Every structure is written in structure tokens, then in C-alpha cells.
Structure 1
Amino acid sequence: MTQETSPTSFPAWPDVAADLVNVAAGRSPADTVIRGGIWVNVHTRETLPDHSVAIVKGRIAFVGQNADHCTGPDTEIIEAAGRYMIPGLCDGHMHIESGMLTPAEFARAVIPHGTTSMFTDPHEIANVLGLDGVRMMHDEALMQPVNIFTQMPSCAPSAPGMETTGFEISADDVAQAMGWPGIIGLGEMMNFPGVSNADPQMLAEIAATQRAGKTVGGHYASPDLGPAFAAYVAGGPADDHEGTCEADAITRMRQGMRSMIRLGSAWYDVETQITAITEKGLDSRNMILCTDDCHSGTLVNDGHMNRVVRHAIDCGCGPLVALQMATINTATHFGLERDIGSVTPGRRADIILTSDLRTLPIETVIARGRIVARDGICLADCPHYDWPQRARQTVNMARDLGASDFDIPAPAGANAVTANVIGVVENQAPTRALQFELPVTDGRVQSHGDVCQIALVERHRATGGVTNALVSGFGYTGRMAMASTVAHDSHHMIVVGTDADQMALAANHLRNLGGGITLFRDGAELATVDLPIAGLMSDSPAADLAAKTDAMMQAMRDCGCTLNNAYMQHSLLALVVIPELRISDLGLVDVRSFEFVDVIVS
């Protein structure tokens, strides 16, 4: 370890079992007693009034109608005052990097929203810095006052042969990481064709995880629910969050997977899938709520898992069922139901006090027996990792770019062409494969109407490569360009614009800045979010970053974009494992067939 303060994990139940037993029996006083609340029992879906909770060494020792026998002269008393005592909320699948924050600042942002456990897949930083970057994320995660469990990334690159990443993750890397203290399982297995076709490396990664007794995360982003899906499930992934409709949720649960349904900043997949529970009556214990990707603006302005639970309730789910989907269901899936996910003896004392189960105001948050937030204010210390320079110098471009780097040549003599165009779908991860007829000027294909240029600029190995294509759906007008070094999952640089000169300005600005997001119009910088760590994250407070991202969103609107959370759509245009059409450093990818296609059709 290079850190002065090594990461620590929370003491295991056996280490404090004697203390728990003695407090529960009344032989020793509790450290803390929460008195006079309504016990929300997610094991039985009951609300039980006039209960108290006794806590020692950060764990729950006793829950009952009278905890006087656990109370001593030095016991801290927290008055629940008739409020509901619910378990701390769990996010079953998420990427901290999507918040553009480090684990410490992400924790500081979500603690006031009642999130006390997160299951994170740092595959974004894995693509930039490899196993070294994963270890940095893992180590900072273990330093936090809440539970951040790390899933070892499975796919860097996400689709071998379709993209080039800064680093690659091997089966040996996965096997090594399974011994780290904070690793809970394998991150989403995005190479679903590889699993379905028995790719040796993918199966070796899954095998290493299963031998360690840990959970394999899934990612099946295809509408084909026939033999290919059955083969994927047989390969070992235990959950999936890529469903978008009721049939997806039902099929996953019927095949023994947990269906994870997400509400992120731009993914609205709860309403279309929760009907499997609310209307079809399937067993709700096989469904889990998650966020997947939330940017800092959502965290600061709208919430985190509390937002997802409220949304599920608004979609017709009963409050207690929705709470199960964000607590005990998640804990059980990862084999942690004896450690987190409920307000019961032995579990970590992660408890929320709220006055209403439907609107879910997060009034007091207790994590590991200590008050960490009250009335929207984080009261806990969230320590920072000392991020080294190698994590802060990751934009490796060979040179400044010029307008000609963004040319799309047309066939000789053509006045117009038919072109393949990436079609953005609002509030959905998938794109559409579209075709448009576009004009040609001076031998170059031109943006026209709602069709913009898109470029993928190589930024890991200084090759100087630029891949050009076309995209529709942003609604941009005027001479503008937006560039980002957040470009899931390979995290090169995505540039979208209506004018090649502006595209060069934006790309070069990020090269000089060392990573982030920027938008230029008519030669002027309208907004910039600097992301110095891996070109993905900032260690600034979430509120500061949210102000910058709000300014970025406003700049996008000023340039004509009306999409909800359009930045998230921008950042995912290189995600070559979600259909239909994507861009990579190697070309334009048809994800339905995993084949490269030409930009110009005719």
C-alpha cells in the first residue's frame, strides 16, 4: 500500500458476537438506542409500532417494544418519535464514475439520501488505468463511513475486437482481485456474445468468481430471448439490468436471474418492467432496484436510491415491496442478508428515520450505528484517497487536431449520399440504426437538419486516430461542438458537433485541460466541467460539480438540445455492447451483428 492510511473494512459479525449477545440479554449496555419508532420489517412486510433498536459496536443487538434492559447511563438515545425505522437503502448496480465524482465525494452526496450500501462496478476507470485504477477505487471505497462493495470489472474492452482500451482486464486479474477485502463479485458481464458462444476468457473470469463464492453480474443487451439468452444464463451471470420492457423482466426472473430495474439520470426502465410485479403478480423478491448511472446534478437536485424507491411507488408498487427491492432483496442477492438489508439483530446498524413511507423524506440517516446525515446534510467524514499523478495525466493525444481531422469524405463526384446514422433514443440506453440522405460540399459529407457529426478521438496511446460518423437526435443548431473524455466504455474522447472547426477547438481544449467535458459555440467556450482523475472524475464536492454540470446542460439547451439528460446520451455513444449503432476507435459498429459498417451506404 502506498497510502499513509490503509483502507479498512467493517468488523465481521463473529468479531463482535459476544457484545451483541450480552447487550441483547441485558448483561451489557448498548452504545445507542433508537427509541419509540415504527419498525419496518422487510422480512415479513410488517410495520410494527412502539419499537426500539439497541446498537453496539455498529451492529444491531436487539429490536423490541422495550429496550430498557439494554440501556445504561452512557447509552446514547435517539428519539424516533413515532417515525418509521427502515433499513438503509442499497443500490444493487451502479458506476461511481458516472457521477463524475470519486468514491468519497459520491458517498458524501448520497448519504443524506439514505443510501448506505452500494454495489459498484468501476469498469470505467478499468478501461483507462486497468487493475491499478480498480484498486484505487476499491481502496477509497473501503475508507468510507458507509458500505461500498466493489465488483471486479469483467470486460475491458467490453467487446474485444470492436474497440481499443487503455488497458485490458484478464482472467488472471479477476482471480487476483477476488482476494481483495472489498470485492463482492464480478462486474456486469457485457460481452454477452462471448458468454453465449463459450469464449474461454469470459468463462474463466466467471469460474474464478464462482470458485471464490461470489456473485457474477450480468448485462444482456439484446432483445433476443431465445437460445442465445438461455446460453448466457447457463454461463453464470446471476442478474441483469439491461431490460427495458415487462417481457425482459419476466424472462430473467423465470430463468433464475434477479431482474434489476434501473432509474438513473437518463434510464427510465422501472415503469415498463415493474408491471411484472404489480400486474402479473410475480414474486417481488426476485426484483431489485438500482440506478446504474447517475450524474452529480441528479444526486444533488433529485436524490439517489430514495428517488428510485419513490418512483417505483409512483408506478404502482406498494411501499413495503419497493423497500424490499432496495434493501433485503439486494442484500440476499449478494449473499449479505445476514449483514445488511434489514433492521434485525446482527446486521449493520444502517437505519433511516422517515415520517412517511410513500413520499420517503430522509430525515435521519444512521450508518454503522452513528448518525451520518440529518435533514439533507451529511455529518460524516468521507476520507479521500491520495490520487497519484499517473491517475491525473490520462489524456494522451499525439497532437492538436484541426478541422480536416473531422472530414467525412464522399465518393468522387457525389452531390449527396445516403449515410448510416446513430439515432439517439431519449431516456433509453439503446440507439437506433438510421439512414439519412445528406448533402456533399467540396467532397465532404455535411451535417444537415438534425444530423450532426460525431468523432471518436483516441486518447489512451497517442495514436492520433480519429473515427468519424454521424448522429441524430440532439437537435443542435448553429456552429457548435461538445467534447467529453467520458465515453463509455472505452473512454476515448467523443466529440459531437455541427462544425468541424468547433469540434477541433473542443477536442484540443480537453487535451490541454487533462480531461472533462466542454462545449464551444462560434469559437467561444460556453461551459466546461474539468475531470482530472482518469478524465472521468473530480474530487471536488458534488455541489460544486453539479453547478458546473448544470451550466453544461444549459449550454446544450442554448445550442438547441431538448433531450432529457442529453449529456448521458452523449457519453454512451461509444458503448459498443448496447444496440443498435455505436462508434468506436475502430469504426462504426452495428451491435446487432457485432460487425463494422460503413458510414456511407451509397
Structure 2
Amino acid sequence: MEHIAFPSWPDVAARLIAVASGREMAETVIRGGIWVNVHSRELLPDHDIAIVAGRVACVVPDASYCTGPETQIIEAEGRYMMPGLCDAHMHIESGMLTPAEFSRAVIPHGTTSMFTDPHEIANVLGLAGVRMMHDEAMLQPVNVFTQMPSCAPSAPGLETTGYEISAEDVAEAMNWPGIIGLGEMMNFPGVAHADPKMLAEIAATQRAGKTVGGHYASPDLGPDFAAYVAGGPADDHEGTSEADAIMRVRQGMRSMMRLGSAWYDVESQITAVTEKGLDPRNFILCTDDCHSGTLVNEGHMNRVVRHAIACGCDPLIAIQMATINTATHFGLEREIGSITPGRRADVILTSDLTELPIELVIARGKIVAKDGECLVDCPHFDWPESARQTVHLGHELAGKDFEIEAPAGANTARANVIGVVENQAPTKALKCDLPVVDGLVEGADGVCQIALVERHRATGGVTNAFVSGFGYEGRMAMASTVAHDSHHMIVVGTDREQMALAANRLAEVGGGITIFKDGKELALVELPIAGLMSDSPAKDVAAKAQKMVEAMVACGCKLNNAYMQHSLLALVVIPELRISDLGLVDVRTFQKIPLLEPQT
């Protein structure tokens, strides 16, 4: 299937000039609005936008001189005409949707450009999976740019992925038409220590003249951070404090501040601009991870911009952070990010720059959404069977697969326990004394079991550990094949038999999320594509996801966006403690550690 043909500027330059000069008539004119100019940071009332071939020909006080009888007139009626919003860093798979359905979900929220890193599917299906995501992205009526994933596995030697991404893969992908750069470089120790593979990927990207994405998930801003910046990453979204944002910008990086379904990192960092007065053009807004419920019920980048404004940011500066700043960072300032001549005609009409109701969305010169309804087709890629059959457990699991044997003769056991932190990606490395019953270590006092079940190569492997913070009660289990980043299967539960039921259920349906309590399935979200995504509409997936959230609450969980926390427990590049198919990983030292401490 061919991607939607969109003419480049050289192809239509003569027409743009002819319309701007009045020698030809515009195809569309947006008339009588307030021009939100993100280059000069001004609001300019009583302007018209003339559009031809999907691009802006001119923005003038009166475009009647290039308006003909066949010109489509869109009345702005004094509303603000602002650029379509850009999400600078995001993972489509986190929405549990394909690129087509994700696009359909966010277009009504005013998102017209996305910079996506499909490293989730890369871990499951390798380069072939990235190409599938890229190809569906290229079909969409909005701009979906793809960053070639850099780290699969994210931490070599500490986890096993379904496929590995090589420097040769990166070099090959740099020639694909929709590739905009290298995805987040999560192996920050590898970069800081000049790992040849990491440097080869960065070099291939820079030779192609494209942007290297960063991911420095450490509070240490000393020599390791300096070494990481020297290694080439141009941005970072892992900052959580004002000091993080300031240091990144001072070192020549763009500080990407995220508000996703579980990430609330804008408020703590935007004070670098609002209070410390740093140049806002080096700050960018993004979502990173948004699940379908957030998209359907709360919004996408419009939600992030509203939040930044609520945190004290000037509305025009917040809009810059979600438009022109992003475009400039990726070398696309002449294509997107502003309403100026030659750029793609991506325009939002809104009556309020603070509350930001998205009343009309225009992408590439066409009306694509109005009053919350998507008005265009978002074409689907023909996903092959190889992408739909990806859960291979090796054998049917039973309760005994989740048993944790205690040291001989012990009545209690001191365990290293993963401590979940609400609304944050980092966890805490805890030590808890747990009871021993019939020779097996049991959870207690808010501590339940967690297991990482290998699902790529049918090894039958199960890694068992403990996690604290979910508050689960009774006999329950939750299983998910969304388990960043290697995407094996994570099972969390208070009862081993329920854990086996949940794991086997996901093998049966080809992946997704399920919750069992007392032998009954309370919720199921089927994610048949790579065990990560559904090609159903976002509202349908969101409805099932809402039942999942309600089931978690019914099992005693009170954490905000607890599902996102669940899915990140195997992310072995974010401190402090994680689980992988190879064991417990202390991400402060990037070393495997034992589950149970030696008896003294």
C-alpha cells in the first residue's frame, strides 16, 4: 500500500507564489481570525490564511485578492488560528492502538504531527515490526514521523528481547522516507562508556543528518551526564526536576517535559522558564506514553498545553513548546510548527487560548475534525499473521511455576522488593522481611508477588519476585504482555493459582491485559498485534481499559494510573529496582541482585 502522496515545497512553489501574489486563486481561505504567530510570539487579529496544495501560501489582513468563486471559505469568526500541535516524543503502542487508530483518536484533539518511537514493537518483532509501524504511519492524513528504535534490548546483558536492533538496522532505516531520527538512547551507561554499538547507531543517524533522541534516566548530573551529552543525544524527556531541565538546556540539549497518563513532569520543570527565566525556545512539551482512556476522555497534546498554562506558563510560550520548538528541533521548521508561507497548512481554530477547546482542525489544508469528531479516514496497514501470533509460553503454566522457595529451615526471609512510586517512572529498592509458609516465601503487608514470564521463544521461563505499592487484596492476579521494554509477560498477584490463570488466558487470546479474582476473569483487553496493540477503535479499547481500571480498584488498588506502573516494572533502564527474564536488576548499578538476602 502506497503512503499518502503529499507534495514537497519544490513541487508546488510556483503555485504558492502565484496565489500569494494574486495571480492565481487559493483553494481554501480561512477568513477573519486571530493569527497566533509562534515565530514572533504575537496575536494578530483580523487575518486570513490562503492555502493551496495543502500548504500556506500567505497570511494577510485581507486575502480577498486571491479568493475566487471556487475557493473554499472557512470562517474563523474572530477565533484564534493556531498551528496544529506536535507531540515531540511518544510511543503509539502505549495507547494500545495501531498508528491508524491512534491518529483517529488524537486528530480531534488538534494533534497534527507526531514523532513516534516504536521501540515497543521492535522488542517483539525487530526491524520488520518497525517497518510495519512506519508504513501504517505513512498512510495517515496527518504527519506521523518515525524514529528508528535504538535500544532493543534497552540494557544488553540484563534482559532478553524477541529481537535485537543492530547498528546495521539503524543505518538501513535511515533511508526510509518516514524516518526522522534515532529513537531515545536508553542505554545511557553504554553511551557514557563509549560502547561501539551505541556510537555506531548515533553515527549512522548523524551521517544521515537526522536527530538523535535522548533518555538519561539518572539523577546523577556529574561526569556520566557530561559523557552522555558528548555522545550525541540532542534531547531528553527523563527529567523530573527544575535542576534537570536547566542542566539539559545549558548543555545544548532540548528539555522535553512530559505529561502522559502516568508522567507528571511538567509542573516540576517548567519553573526553569516561568521563574528562572531561561529561554523557552529550548523547551518542548510531549506525552511519552498515553493510554487509550486518556486519549478518549482527556485529550492529547491539547491536554499537555492546557496543563503547562495551568502551571503558570504564558499561553503563547506553551503553544510554542508544542509547535515551533518541536519543528525546529527535528529540522522541520520549514515544514510544520507554524502558520507561515510554505509550511503545511496544519491549523486549529479555538475560541480560547487558555482552556483550548479544539473546535476545528485542518491538516494539510483539509478539514479533518470538528467539535471532537474525526472527519477523515485513517487507513490501516494489513498486519500479517506473524504480527498477531506472538505469545509463546512453551507450556501451560500452573501455580507451582510461581513458587518462591525459602532457605531451608527459615521462618522468615528478607527479600529485595520493588517499591512502586505513584505518578513516577522510578521505583524504590526496598528490603522486606516476609513470612515463610510450608517452605515457600509469601507476600505480606502490602507486598505481593510479581513474575516475568518469557513469551518470545517459548522457553517456559518464569522469574519470580515481590512488589510493593499496589495495595491488592484477596485472591487476585493481573497479567499483561505490555511489559516495557522487552515485552515479555508481567504477572502481579496475591495468589499463585490466579497468576497461572491470568498468564494462560493471555496466551490463549494472543496478548493483552487480564485480571482474575477468585477464579473469575474481571476484565480483558485483547491486544492481538504483537501483544501490544489493537486495531479496534480507540473508544472500544478505552471502554475495555476502563473495565480493567475498575477491576484493579475492585482488587484493592488505589494508585493513580496503576496500569502504567504495572507495565513499567520490567523497564531495566530506570532506577531503582526492576525485574527481567534474567532476574532482579538494580538499575543504580546495572547489576543483577538476588531476590532473597543471605541469612545472617
Report TM bin, short chain: over 0.9
Q: Distance in 2 between matches of 1:585 and 1:487?
A: 11
Q: Distance in 2 between matches of 1:256 and 1:407?
A: 50
1:519 to 2:515 alignment: yes
1:515-545, Cα deviation, whole Å (9 max, x unpaired): 0000000000000000000000000000000
Given that 2:214 and 2:237 are in contact with CA atoms closer than 8 Å, whether structure 1 keeps it comes out as: yes
1:570 Cα shift? Answer: 0.2
1:250 Cα shift? Answer: 0.4
SS of alignment partner, residue 217 of structure 1: strand
Q: Distance in 2 between matches of 1:542 and 1:446?
A: 39
1:579 Cα shift? Answer: 0.3
1:418 Cα shift? Answer: 1.0
Alignment match, 1:13: 9
Alignment match, 2:262: 266
1:556 to 2:581 alignment: no
1:379 Cα shift? Answer: 0.2
SS of alignment partner, residue 557 of structure 1: helix
Q: Distance in 2 between matches of 1:552 and 1:187?
A: 30
Alignment match, 1:445: 441
Q: How does 1:428-467 map to 2 (within 5 A)?
A: 428-467=424-463
Q: Distance in 2 between matches of 1:337 and 1:423?
A: 43
Q: Distance in 2 between matches of 1:242 and 1:9?
A: 35
SS of alignment partner, residue 107 of structure 2: helix
1:210 to 2:197 alignment: no
Counterpart code for 1:309: V
* Structure 2 residue corresponding to 1:113, chosen from 87, 109, 119: 109
1:414-456, Cα deviation, whole Å (9 max, x unpaired): 0001111000010001101011111000111101121010000
Q: Distance in 2 between matches of 1:148 and 1:414?
A: 56
Alignment match, 1:285: 281
* Structure 1 residue corresponding to 2:344, chosen from 336, 348, 354: 348
Runs of 4+ aligned structure 1 residues displaced above 6 Å come to none
Q: Distance in 2 between matches of 1:11 and 1:571?
A: 40
1:67 to 2:63 alignment: yes
Given that 2:4 and 2:141 are in contact with CA atoms closer than 8 Å, whether structure 1 keeps it comes out as: no
1:229 Cα shift? Answer: 0.3
Given that 2:261 and 2:289 are in contact with CA atoms closer than 8 Å, whether structure 1 keeps it comes out as: yes
1:7 Cα shift? Answer: 2.1
Structure 2: 5+ residue runs without aligned partners? none
Q: Distance in 2 between matches of 1:342 and 1:550?
A: 36
Q: Distance in 2 between matches of 1:599 and 1:391?
A: 34
Counterpart code for 2:481: T
SS of alignment partner, residue 569 of structure 1: helix
1:33 Cα shift? Answer: 0.1
SS of alignment partner, residue 330 of structure 1: helix
Q: Distance in 2 between matches of 1:9 and 1:239?
A: 30
Alignment match, 1:541: 537
* Structure 1 residue corresponding to 2:295, chosen from 293, 296, 299: 299
Q: Distance in 2 between matches of 1:66 and 1:488?
A: 52
1:6 Cα shift? Answer: 1.8
SS of alignment partner, residue 542 of structure 2: helix
1:144 to 2:140 alignment: yes
Q: How does 1:467-506 map to 2 (within 5 A)?
A: 467-506=463-502
1:37 to 2:33 alignment: yes
Q: Distance in 2 between matches of 1:525 and 1:9?
A: 46
SS of alignment partner, residue 410 of structure 1: coil
1:169 to 2:165 alignment: yes
1:93-139, Cα deviation, whole Å (9 max, x unpaired): 00000000000000000000000000000000000000000000000
Alignment match, 1:193: 189
Alignment match, 1:422: 418
Q: Distance in 2 between matches of 1:170 and 1:484?
A: 27
1:325 to 2:330 alignment: no
SS of alignment partner, residue 546 of structure 1: helix
Given that 2:287 and 2:301 are in contact with CA atoms closer than 8 Å, whether structure 1 keeps it comes out as: yes
1:236 to 2:232 alignment: yes
* Structure 2 residue corresponding to 1:245, chosen from 241, 244, 262: 241
* Structure 1 residue corresponding to 2:45, chosen from 21, 42, 49: 49
1:399 to 2:395 alignment: yes
Q: Distance in 1 between matches of 2:5 and 2:211?
A: 19
* Structure 2 residue corresponding to 1:593, chosen from 589, 592, 600: 589
Counterpart code for 1:213: G
Alignment match, 2:374: 378
Q: Distance in 2 between matches of 1:282 and 1:119?
A: 25
SS of alignment partner, residue 150 of structure 1: strand
1:207 Cα shift? Answer: 0.1
Counterpart code for 1:468: N
Alignment match, 2:21: 25
Given that 2:339 and 2:345 are in contact with CA atoms closer than 8 Å, whether structure 1 keeps it comes out as: yes
1:12 Cα shift? Answer: 1.2
Q: Distance in 2 between matches of 1:85 and 1:593?
A: 50
Given that 1:37 and 1:50 are in contact with CA atoms closer than 8 Å, whether structure 2 keeps it comes out as: yes
* Structure 2 residue corresponding to 1:83, chosen from 61, 79, 82: 79
1:31-56, Cα deviation, whole Å (9 max, x unpaired): 00000000000001100000000000
Counterpart code for 1:458: E
* Structure 2 residue corresponding to 1:567, chosen from 563, 566, 577: 563
Given that 1:9 and 1:142 are in contact with CA atoms closer than 8 Å, whether structure 2 keeps it comes out as: no
Counterpart code for 2:412: A
* Structure 2 residue corresponding to 1:312, chosen from 283, 286, 308: 308
SS of alignment partner, residue 300 of structure 1: helix
Counterpart code for 1:534: A
Counterpart code for 1:59: R
1:472-503, Cα deviation, whole Å (9 max, x unpaired): 00000000000000000000000000000000
The root-mean-square deviation of aligned C-alpha atoms, in Å, is 0.5
Counterpart code for 2:436: V
Q: Distance in 1 between matches of 2:374 and 2:403?
A: 49
Q: Distance in 1 between matches of 2:480 and 2:6?
A: 37
* Structure 1 residue corresponding to 2:88, chosen from 66, 89, 92: 92
Given that 1:100 and 1:536 are in contact with CA atoms closer than 8 Å, whether structure 2 keeps it comes out as: yes
1:10 Cα shift? Answer: 2.4
1:292-351, Cα deviation, whole Å (9 max, x unpaired): 000000000000000000000000000000000000000000000000000000000000
Structure 1: 5+ residue runs without aligned partners? none
* Structure 1 residue corresponding to 2:574, chosen from 575, 578, 595: 578
After TM superposition, the score normalised by the length of structure 2 is 0.99
Counterpart code for 2:43: T
1:9 Cα shift? Answer: 4.9
Q: Distance in 1 between matches of 2:417 and 2:283?
A: 35
Q: Distance in 2 between matches of 1:6 and 1:594?
A: 44
Given that 1:42 and 1:328 are in contact with CA atoms closer than 8 Å, whether structure 2 keeps it comes out as: yes
1:8 Cα shift? Answer: 3.6
Q: Distance in 2 between matches of 1:264 and 1:257?
A: 21
Given that 1:9 and 1:182 are in contact with CA atoms closer than 8 Å, whether structure 2 keeps it comes out as: no
After TM superposition, the score normalised by the length of structure 1 is 0.99
Q: Distance in 2 between matches of 1:426 and 1:373?
A: 35
Given that 1:40 and 1:48 are in contact with CA atoms closer than 8 Å, whether structure 2 keeps it comes out as: yes
Given that 2:527 and 2:533 are in contact with CA atoms closer than 8 Å, whether structure 1 keeps it comes out as: yes
1:257-302, Cα deviation, whole Å (9 max, x unpaired): 0000000000000000000000000000000000000000000000
